[in-house]
A and B are shown apart, each in its own frame.
Chain A
Amino acid sequence: MKPHVFAAVGLKKEFDDGRVQALRGVDFSIAQGEFVAITGPSGCGKTTLLQMLGALDFPSSGTLHYRGNSIPDLPEPAAYRAREIGIIFQAFNLLPTFTALENVQIPMFETDMRAAERKERAGLLLKSVGLAERRDHFPAKLSGGERQRVAIARSLANSPSVLLADEPTGNLDSENAHLILDLIIRLQREQNMTLVLVTHDSGIAQRASRVVHMKDGRIVSDLAT
């Protein structure tokens, strides 16, 4: 049996003093190297679940472990986010005042790399997403697909073992969506990362090794494809 990367038991998340129950008891585990798609209607808790996995927020109750360590009890959640997790957002979330090359370097400030190493690595990462020529452009001068490729390069900055992607193609046309999805899947396989991807698109979900369907803060089906 493969070791678990994530294991959740009875995971709940409430907002506004319990008036909103975003997760109502979620149990699952994810193994190393899996590509899990999470689907479900709007408001069912997909983003909330991803935030728990990335230690961007804390569960209200239940347990959530990363490779045997309780995520809510991590001594340094920032270090966990920096080293273990790469995040890809729907809205790209690049910093507007930094060039592509600089955006990719931002997460590397949490490592011991020297300035020259950071720059070199960021250049290589941009090359791997096919954007070597655009490295000195600011986000505003890039197309949506190009911005998402910069964001993907940034998510790989510190060689994470997990990629979390929340609707990574949601802001792109179908042609670009395919290119971006192919890129993410290629990089995930090449680097044997675990990929958890939230999507509305059943076509995208079919490419995953497993599809988790959620409704009202619960998992209603969990199928290998």
Chain B
Amino acid sequence: MTFFTIVVRGLLRRPVRTGLTLVGISIGIAAVVALVGISRGFEQSWAAGMKARGTDIVVSNMGSALAPKPFDASVRDRIASLPRVAATCAIFVDLTSIEDSSMMVVSAREWGGFSWKSLKLISGRMPHDAKEPAVVLGQTAAEVLKKKIGDPIQIEAKELFVVGIVNGGALVENGSVILSLPLFQEITGNEGKINIIDLRADPGMSEDDLKNLCAQINTLVPEARAMIAGEHVGNSQAYRFISAMSWGTSLLAVIVGVLGVMNTMLMTVFERKQEISILLAIGWKRARVIRMVLWESALLGLLGGIGGVMIGAVGVKVLETLPAIHGLLEPDLSTGLMLVSIVIAVAVGVISGIYPAWRSSRLTPSLAMQG
């Protein structure tokens, strides 16, 4: 028998209570994994989408909404004339529900712009011209909308036709409905407006060069902000709000976990008063009793953390397959996040064990002899 056996035996003496406590911590940690994983995945998949389009800098106005705020299309011409700008592509991106599917990314791109070039046709064709009432669908978008080539598709009040299905090389691209900018502007009554400019810089520019270019653009066009592709999502208010929400909710889950474990450990210390006093009477140091309680508590945290990471990962995978979310989510379930979650869980265990451990160390060995 080792000290660890004693710790485990302490948890096993009330298997139902230990089990319920584990479920409690697991749910808390699962919430951390799912919420933080989803919000970080959201950021990362947008960044990947930008890279797939060959975009170095994104000029947009990420306000408080999920989609950026529109601004005048002329901003593009001012930026295009800057030195070291190789190409620009004006875009109007909207998050909107299409037919009976909720929240699709609709990406309307300047006809002939470079953002079209990264799309690889899987079947069908590209639109013939800027005014053809046609869209191409990313693979996932086609699945979600259950559309094939030739099918009609309703966008706002206008009926368009699916002419091609494409692979855009990144989740966001594959989940998008893509059409030409002038067509979309006409349909939605947003003539002369855009909300994103994809910018490709001259080859060979360093991160610092790109930052300088961003700064230049920002002084030139106050209506929008230039950011290195990928960073712009993380900087958007909407993303920050989602991120804060997910950390906030996670924090709540963790606090609930701490209270649950503390309650369990206090109960186990109280109902073992006599046993703990026996341990002290037959020679155990107070420090060893404290260690026993803390290890029990930490072990609860560790097991709850492992359970929580598993539940969280499975939960997120299930969420991903839901039609409403499919194609919009690419959660970040990196080992880093899993490890952080388990460390949080163990910390929950240790922190919750401190007060019960202190209480246990206040017990007196003489209690053992008082029958």
Chain A residues with CB under 8 Å of chain B are 47, 50-51, 54, 56-57, 76, 78-79, 81-83, 85, 87, 89-91, 93, 95-98, 101-102, 105-107, 109-110, 115, 118-119, 154-155, 157-158, 166
Indicate if B2 sits at the interface (CB-CB under 8 A).
yes
Query: A208: shortest Cβ distance to chain B, in Å?
Result: 20
Indicate if B285 sits at the interface (CB-CB under 8 A).
yes
CB-defined contacts of A85 to chain B, threshold 8 Å? 283
Q: Are B370 and A110 in contact (CB under 8 A)?
A: no
Indicate if B366 sits at the interface (CB-CB under 8 A).
yes
Q: Are B282 and A106 in contact (CB under 8 A)?
A: yes
Q: Which of A50, A87, A101, A115 contacts B282 (CB 8 A)?
A: A87
Q: Are B1 and A82 in contact (CB under 8 A)?
A: no
**Alpha-carbon distance between A53 and B15 when the two chains are bound, in angstroms:** 39
**Alpha-carbon distance between A27 and B288 when the two chains are bound, in angstroms:** 35
Q: Are B280 and A78 in contact (CB under 8 A)?
A: yes
Given contacts A82-B282, A83-B283, A106-B279, contact A98 B9 (CB under 8 A): yes
CB-defined contacts of B6 to chain A, threshold 8 Å? 98, 106, 109
Query: B110: shortest Cβ distance to chain A, in Å?
Result: 73
CB-defined contacts of B237 to chain A, threshold 8 Å? none
Q: Are A89 and B369 in contact (CB under 8 A)?
A: yes
**Alpha-carbon distance between A97 and B278 when the two chains are bound, in angstroms:** 13
* Overall SS of chain A's interface: helix
Given contacts A79-B283, A81-B282, A97-B12, contact A109 B288 (CB under 8 A): yes
Q: Are A47 and B283 in contact (CB under 8 A)?
A: no
* Overall SS of chain B's interface: helix
Q: Which residue of A lies closest to B9 (CB)?
A: A97
Interface residues of B in 280-319 (CB under 8 A from A): 280-286, 288
Given contacts A54-B281, A93-B368, A166-B369, contact A115 B286 (CB under 8 A): no
Given contacts A91-B371, A98-B9, contact A154 B283 (CB under 8 A): no
Given contacts A95-B275, A97-B9, A119-B1, contact A154 B282 (CB under 8 A): yes
Q: Are A47 and B12 in contact (CB under 8 A)?
A: no
**Alpha-carbon distance between A91 and B369 when the two chains are bound, in angstroms:** 9
Q: What's the count of A-B pairs with C-beta under 8 Å?
A: 87
Chain B residues with CB under 8 Å of chain A are 1-3, 5-6, 9-10, 12-13, 274-275, 278-286, 288, 364-366, 368-371
**Alpha-carbon distance between A122 and B9 when the two chains are bound, in angstroms:** 19
**Alpha-carbon distance between A87 and B277 when the two chains are bound, in angstroms:** 13
**Alpha-carbon distance between A89 and B275 when the two chains are bound, in angstroms:** 13
**Alpha-carbon distance between A50 and B371 when the two chains are bound, in angstroms:** 13
Query: A215: shortest Cβ distance to chain B, in Å?
Result: 20
CB-defined contacts of B12 to chain A, threshold 8 Å? 97
**Alpha-carbon distance between A102 and B4 when the two chains are bound, in angstroms:** 13
**Alpha-carbon distance between A47 and B369 when the two chains are bound, in angstroms:** 7
Q: Which of B13, B278, B371 contacts A90 (CB 8 A)?
A: B371
Q: Are B1 and A110 in contact (CB under 8 A)?
A: no
Query: B278: shortest Cβ distance to chain A, in Å?
Result: 5
**Alpha-carbon distance between A107 and B282 when the two chains are bound, in angstroms:** 6
Q: Which residue of B lies closest to A101 (CB)?
A: B1
Query: B271: shortest Cβ distance to chain A, in Å?
Result: 11
Query: A181: shortest Cβ distance to chain B, in Å?
Result: 19
Q: Are B364 and A57 in contact (CB under 8 A)?
A: yes
25 chain-A/chain-B pairs, Cβ below 8 angstroms? A47-B369, A47-B370, A50-B369, A51-B369, A56-B280, A56-B369, A57-B365, A78-B283, A78-B286, A79-B283, A79-B285, A81-B280, A81-B282, A82-B284, A90-B371, A93-B274, A95-B279, A97-B10, A102-B1, A106-B279, A106-B284, A107-B283, A109-B6, A115-B1, A166-B369
Query: B330: shortest Cβ distance to chain A, in Å?
Result: 47
Q: Are A81 and B9 in contact (CB under 8 A)?
A: no
